[in-house]
Structures are given as structure tokens and as C-alpha cells.
Copies of this chain bind each other. A is one copy, B any other.
Amino acid sequence: MVTLEDVAKHAGVSLATASRVLNGSTRQVGAPLRAKVEMAAEQLGYRANVAAQTLARGAGNVIGLVVHDLVDPYFAAIADGAMRVAESRGLMVMVGTTHRDPEREIAYVSTLNAQRVRAVLLTGSRLDDVQVTRRLRQELDRYRESGGQVACVGQDLLGADTVAPGNAEGAAELARALAGLGHRRFAVLAGPAGLVTARDRTTGFRGALAALGLPEPRIVHGTFDRDGGYAAAAGLAEAGKEITCVFAVNDVMAMGALAAFRDRGVRVPQDVSVAGFDDIATLRDLVPSLSTVRLPLADMGARAMELALDPAERVRIERVAGEVVIRESTRRLE
């Protein structure tokens, strides 16, 4: 293991000079010495020890990123956007996946704190659990006290810079668009009861329907993933036929719903319309193509990273509006 001292010795200069040459400093070093140090470093194959640098400088160049599930394209897209920004600034990203376990999320913040990462990005929906949220906030506060930055993608529940998608508003606008197509009797595949994102989308949707004087939609809970959408839609297909339009609170669930209907011979959109939320890129080629609310996921991730990297006095909440996109999976009722 070749250290800076080896390089300095080999170049015949002091440790300080070698450090100044190799790892950026405000101080100047004369050209001849500079050249000697660079030569020596090259010859010996010197690689700075980041742990030592982090210790000495008191701050590293690593960012912590916490997601629920990397395989979910929603998180993959956000992570991708965030990582591009980090890369462009020469920072490494440390990723933790919670698999939707809030305890793991708290544990990750603690670990990332120990790693003295420069900032932590928390992405994904919070649970509607005061206890857990409180403990998470506590852990975050501890991290901030030691100089860390925090940013979120999702709900503004943690007192940190947040990129907040307009879940309720987007869902409401979707509801109005679907009502505009003539739909009256809806079902909502609402995901888990305790998940704030799912709840916001559900209530936004219901609220808009109520404002239009339309009947209450049928609410079906389930998991927030493809299988949850499948199961919920399957239950629906068995039960009543009077529903003309199903809103799944995310695209992946909508994909599951599509599969469930297909397996049961229910045609989409002829027999029932289906809409999702997120506009996941990987799912654009589904047949029928999915009506949904588009969220600029990569941009949201990128923006959150920027917020974390360029701290401000005040807590900043940036709202991101979703854009309703009507495609083939929802039809106009005559």
C-alpha cells in the first residue's frame, strides 16, 4: 500500500508539499517540485486514502441515497436522476434499500451518519405512523447536528428540503379527466392503508369525484406493487360489473390490474378502463398503453440531489405537478 509519505520520500519533498500537489489545495507549489511529485505518484501508483482524507478534512464526498426497492422502476428512475447530479459533481453515492421496512430506513440514516456522508436523500413514501416518523426525524436531527444535509423525494413530513409530487392534485385532475370521458362509477386500487403516497392519491381522486357530484368510488386496498394491483383487480372482476373505470394508484399496480383483467377475459378498455400514476418509462410499451399521471421522476431525483448539495437557510419545499396523460387504456363512454 503506497502512501503519501512514500511519494513524498520518493520525490524528496515534504509530506505537506506532496499533499498540496496531489490533492487540490489553495496553496501553490513551484513547478519543479510539482513535477517531481507527480512523477513519483505516477511511478508508485499512488491512490489517496479517502478514509484518511475524510478524517482530516472532516467531510467526505459521498452521498447517501435511501430507496425502498431498486427493482421498482419508480425508484430506479429517481435514483438515476439523483446519481447523475452526484456524478457531475464528482461525488459517490451509497445506496441503501429498505424493502419498505421503516426500521431499516432509520438504521440506514444512522449508518450513513456514521459514514459522515455529506448528504442523505430519502426517497419514497412515508408511512402514516407517528412513532416511526418521530424516530426517523430524531435520527435525522442527530445527523443534521453533525453537519449533514437532508433532502427528500416525497412527502414533506421530515422538516427537510423536499421535492413533493402533487399526488392529490394529480389524482384529482385525473379524476376530472376520466369523468370528462363519461365515467361515473369508479374503483380505486388504493394500495396499503398506511402509505401516505397511496392515501394522498386516493383522497385526491375521491375529493375530485365528490366535487363533481359523482358517487363514491369503490376502494380496494392491497400492496403497492404489481401483485397488489393484480390481486385487487382480480377481486374486483369477480364482484360487481357496474364499475367502468379503475384507478390504480401507481403504474406498476395498473400493470398488475391489466394482467388480472386479461386473465379473466375482461377487455381493457372496452369492458373497463384502467388508469395509473407515475408514467413509468419501462411501461410505455404496455398494451393497451396506460393512461396515467406523468411525474418527471429523474428530474425529481436530480432536483432533490441539488437541494441537498446546495443548502439554504430555509427549508425548501418544491412542488412538482403531475401531468395527466390519456392513452388507450381508458375509453370514452358514449
User: Which residues of A are interface residues toward B (Cβ below 8 A)?
Assistant: 1-2, 45, 47-52, 54-55, 60, 62, 69-71, 73, 76-77, 79-80, 83, 87, 92-97, 110-116, 142, 145-147, 226, 255-256, 258-259, 262, 281-283, 285-287
Residue numbers in B under 8 Å from A113 (CB-CB): 47
Shortest beta-carbon distance from A104 to chain B in Å: 8
Asked if B76 and A281 make an inter-chain contact with CB atoms under 8 angstroms apart, the answer reads no
A48 to B111, CA, bound (A): 9
Residue numbers in B under 8 Å from A283 (CB-CB): 282
Asked if A285 and B285 make an inter-chain contact with CB atoms under 8 angstroms apart, the answer reads no
A178 to B62, CA, bound (A): 49
Asked if B92 and A115 make an inter-chain contact with CB atoms under 8 angstroms apart, the answer reads yes
26 residue pairs from A and B, CB less than 8 Å apart: A1-B147, A2-B146, A45-B145, A47-B142, A47-B146, A48-B114, A49-B116, A50-B114, A50-B116, A51-B51, A51-B52, A51-B55, A51-B60, A52-B55, A70-B70, A70-B80, A70-B83, A83-B97, A87-B97, A92-B112, A93-B94, A93-B95, A95-B95, A282-B282, A282-B283, A287-B287
Asked if B71 and A80 make an inter-chain contact with CB atoms under 8 angstroms apart, the answer reads yes
Shortest beta-carbon distance from A294 to chain B in Å: 16
Asked if A114 and B76 make an inter-chain contact with CB atoms under 8 angstroms apart, the answer reads no
Residue numbers in B under 8 Å from A115 (CB-CB): 50-51, 62, 92
Residue numbers in B under 8 Å from A142 (CB-CB): 45, 47
Residue numbers in B under 8 Å from A69 (CB-CB): 80
With A55-B51, A95-B95 as given contacts, are A71 and B77 in contact (CB-CB < 8 Å)?
Answer: yes
Residue numbers in B under 8 Å from A116 (CB-CB): 49-51
Residue numbers in B under 8 Å from A79 (CB-CB): 70
With A83-B97, A282-B282, A285-B259 as given contacts, are A110 and B47 in contact (CB-CB < 8 Å)?
Answer: yes
> What 10 pairs across the A-B complex have the smallest Cβ distances?
A51-B54, A51-B55, A259-B285, A50-B115, A50-B114, A47-B114, A287-B287, A51-B51, A95-B95, A94-B94
Most B C-beta atoms less than 10 A away, residue of A47, A55, A97:
A47
Asked if B92 and A111 make an inter-chain contact with CB atoms under 8 angstroms apart, the answer reads yes
A54 to B47, CA, bound (A): 16
Query: Closest residue to A90 on the B side, CB-wise?
Result: B111
With A51-B54, A55-B52, A73-B71 as given contacts, are A95 and B83 in contact (CB-CB < 8 Å)?
Answer: yes
Query: Closest residue to A108 on the B side, CB-wise?
Result: B92
Asked if B282 and A285 make an inter-chain contact with CB atoms under 8 angstroms apart, the answer reads no
With A52-B55, A70-B70, A115-B92 as given contacts, are A97 and B110 in contact (CB-CB < 8 Å)?
Answer: no
Query: Closest residue to A52 on the B side, CB-wise?
Result: B55
Residue numbers in B under 8 Å from A73 (CB-CB): 71, 73, 76, 282
Residue numbers in B under 8 Å from A256 (CB-CB): 285
